[in-house]
Amino acid sequence: MTEIVIVRHGQANSAATDEEGYDRLSDLGRRQAAWLGDHLAATDPQFDHVITGTLHRQADTARAMGYEPQVRDPRLNEMTYFDLARAMEMQHGVPAPTTAAEFARHLPEVMTMWAEGRLDAVPESFDAFHMRVTELLGELSARRGRVLVVTSGGVIGMALRHVLSLDTGGMAQIMLQVMNSSVHRMSYVHERLMLAGFNATPHLDAPDRAHARTFI
């Protein structure tokens, strides 16, 4: 059996307005990752493979957890949300969100427009994003043992879309719920990949860590 343990990176620079500016962990993001690493060290710390995307916030999360990435695979990189948001504004007159409530309304609309091919001149098509994520899941499923994957919320949403046969709206709703440093588990058994756990944050359950449960 193969177990894939997927972790979303810790909180990044939520005040950023572009992809480069967002790609660094906040101080809280580093603490979230360190707490998760402590939890894993006390429970089940051994992984046969450790893989992250090439983004700084992903690899730095793994390192703050106490794991050095063995492979940094660009297929685990996040979709370029800021580019999609700019295309939405320029091509459809939908302004980028400035609050969490606006983001919760904006993301599903962006995903729908993107999936329907109604956003032009963006770095990557929805179909290409889907293909790279599902291709990697297939490769990881063929490995034996436990695999630690550190990636981003959009990749996790696409992975769950694949495993649970979600539509685009369902994927967007999943993405809105994925917390920073959350843990998602998939198992490859009976010749299929199945969801075994979603959005767990046991390292943040203590009352004095309630402030550290973040989504953005």
Domains annotated for the chain, with CATH where assigned, are 2-78+126-212 (3.40.50.1240), 80-123 (no CATH)
What pLDDT was estimated at residue 76?
A: 98
Reference 75, options 142, 145, 128, 126; nearest CA is: 128
Indicate if the pLDDT at residue 18 is higher than 90: no
What pLDDT was estimated at residue 29?
A: 98
Across the beta sheet with 145-151, the strand order is: 71-72, 49-52, 145-151, 2-8, 183-189, 192-200
What pLDDT was estimated at residue 88?
A: 97
What pLDDT was estimated at residue 56?
A: 97
> Average per-residue pLDDT in the chain?
96
The model's pLDDT over 38-68, given as tens digits with 9 standing for 90+, comes to 999 999 889 999 999 999 999 999 999 999 9
With bands split at pLDDT 50, 70 and 90, how would you rate the model's confidence at 190?
confident
With bands split at pLDDT 50, 70 and 90, how would you rate the model's confidence at 123?
very high
With bands split at pLDDT 50, 70 and 90, how would you rate the model's confidence at 172?
very high
The model's pLDDT over 83-102, given as tens digits with 9 standing for 90+, comes to 999 999 999 999 999 888 99
